[in-house]
Structure 1
């Protein structure tokens, strides 16, 4: 099996239509509590803000996962095997991905999947130049929505879904199980999932990661409203909201909120949504699972951990996961 010659990157565009996003916003703002999907974090501005957040002292997740990768790259390479097709959910800046691809034995294909079109195209072009023998197929899509890569990746390729950054923690447990099942179906019995998972730990470590002293996370959270305004025609007054992040250890999660600082009415698609002063809009959950709790989610999805790598403090884990049917 050989990769086709690639002269330029061609984008597979599965980005949701504006009408779909408007319906989603109307539905989620009508819930109790009010909600907005964390997909709205990631326009061009949000992607740049998140890249800066990853370098903050308080935000331990990125540097800890990189530490694990650097220490165990040889073992990861052995588990993945040669000529793998790497499918990355939520590719972002690709810092960890570049490290992974450098270590692998003749990887065949790299398919980054991300909702931020500008960052995705930039990443794909950079990776194509960096790895000229690698087929790069960017997919602009919400990875929470099913999509098919059968026309892109050869049937006999060993598929590896790469899902770093503990992004699985942004889903409530029922959604996480659905996502794990979808990834299992995407890779098949011959494939595997390489997944980063942040682990339960003290409030003193977790909360500052989402309430940084420079205010970047607050700007990142508030930018979601600007993004919603732009793509749906909503008229959120961004200055009338405040960022708040709370760790709830009994539920294993951080909650990101936008708090209305005034009585206000938001208009979208001819409808009005009333927000009272102090009302919350939930923009993100970030689950921090004990290993045994996450293992139960894997089992429900028909999966199991084959290998697990930790940092020195056991704050974070990188897991190699396969179907429970595999020997």
Structure 2
């Protein structure tokens, strides 16, 4: 089923006037490994900054949430942030990580289970960017806490981000709260290197998407004929990741031929950065209100507690 969805998304994206590939397909097992390496790079400030905020705000978050909440994490990554949050909370009822990549999901669930052996952990394989059922998987009687760290909200276009926040508000149920990480607008001299590091790890991460299409969809991309590019789009206040064709070339995928001109790109990811007033407006549009917001001394990153 995943292979069919990958091929369908690739055919649709590469058929457009401007070629695109959905960023969710960046995260196969190798993509997950590379992204974990990215989070440790000196240029990549979001992970270490958000982790620091969560550690410092942990007691306040626990007081606001109260005891017995089931925690639903959308896109758990390596599970490390969940471990920190769950340790800070008062007797959480269960942990439900949700991700489209089973390899990453299993690793995150295993890490949380090892760190908190008495906690019930129920991985959910699902595309959280689309509608899926959560109600049947909930445990406990306390309102749920959604957890969406890493500024993954920035991967959505703003109307899609609002739609996502509305869906999870409905899915989490009455009285739910949401702990949301959002990267802040800042100097491009800080932003761009975070997505185009000197060691080339982000480039390998982006190019791995083409390797995945070769391996899983039978495509014949020449990875040496594409180059990673990260740019700051000031008008849209977002980082864009592209794969740039270095020459005129043709690529075959699922019986179709896609032609690339020199310099033509495949747009693989957006990472929108938020100003606080824009995030407040987005939350309100989706039916959430802001209960609290925390940031770091340099105003690099923000963590928001939203409530219904």
> TM (normalized to structure 2)?
0.97
Name 2:152's counterpart in structure 1: 167
Q: CA deviation at 1:161?
A: 1.0
Name 1:184's counterpart in structure 2: 169
Q: Distance in 1 between matches of 2:26 and 2:4?
A: 18
Q: Is 1:275 paired with 2:275?
A: no
Q: Distance in 1 between matches of 2:116 and 2:138?
A: 17
Name 1:141's counterpart in structure 2: 126
Give a deviation string over 1:253-289, Cα, whole Å, max 9, x none.
0000000011111112211111111111000000011
Q: Is 1:79 paired with 2:64?
A: yes
**DSSP-derived class of the 2:144 partner:** strand
Q: Is 1:88 paired with 2:68?
A: no
Deviates more, 1:20-29 or 1:196-205: 20-29
Q: CA deviation at 1:155?
A: 7.3
Name 1:56's counterpart in structure 2: 41
Q: Which of 291, 309, 312 is the aligned partner of 2:294?
A: 309
Q: CA deviation at 1:305?
A: 1.2
Q: Which of 94, 99, 111 is the aligned partner of 1:109?
A: 94
Name 2:279's counterpart in structure 1: 294
> TM (normalized to structure 1)?
0.91
Q: Distance in 1 between matches of 2:191 and 2:172?
A: 32
Give a deviation string over 1:24-50, Cα, whole Å, max 9, x none.
110111123110011121111111111
Give a deviation string over 1:177-201, Cα, whole Å, max 9, x none.
1111111111223111100000111
Name 1:11's counterpart in structure 2: none
Give a deviation string over 1:135-169, Cα, whole Å, max 9, x none.
10011222112111222214734211100000000
**DSSP-derived class of the 1:219 partner:** helix
Q: Distance in 2 between matches of 1:228 and 1:158?
A: 41
Q: Is 1:125 paired with 2:114?
A: no
- Give 5+ residue unaligned stretches, structure 1: 1-15
Q: Is 1:153 paired with 2:138?
A: yes
Name 1:221's counterpart in structure 2: 206
Q: What is the CA RMSD across the aligned residues, in angstroms?
A: 1.3
Q: CA deviation at 1:315?
A: 1.2
Residues 40 and 228 of structure 1 are in contact (CA less than 8 Å); yes or no, is this contact kept in structure 2?
A: no
- Give 5+ residue unaligned stretches, structure 2: none
Name 2:237's counterpart in structure 1: 252
Q: CA deviation at 1:125?
A: 2.3
**DSSP-derived class of the 1:318 partner:** strand
Q: CA deviation at 1:304?
A: 1.8
Residues 154 and 273 of structure 2 are in contact (CA less than 8 Å); yes or no, is this contact kept in structure 1?
A: yes
Aligned residues: 308
**DSSP-derived class of the 1:33 partner:** coil
Residues 85 and 159 of structure 1 are in contact (CA less than 8 Å); yes or no, is this contact kept in structure 2?
A: yes
Q: Is 1:238 paired with 2:223?
A: yes
**DSSP-derived class of the 1:112 partner:** strand
Residues 189 and 322 of structure 1 are in contact (CA less than 8 Å); yes or no, is this contact kept in structure 2?
A: no
**DSSP-derived class of the 1:243 partner:** strand
Residues 38 and 201 of structure 2 are in contact (CA less than 8 Å); yes or no, is this contact kept in structure 1?
A: yes
Q: CA deviation at 1:118?
A: 1.7
Q: CA deviation at 1:129?
A: 2.9
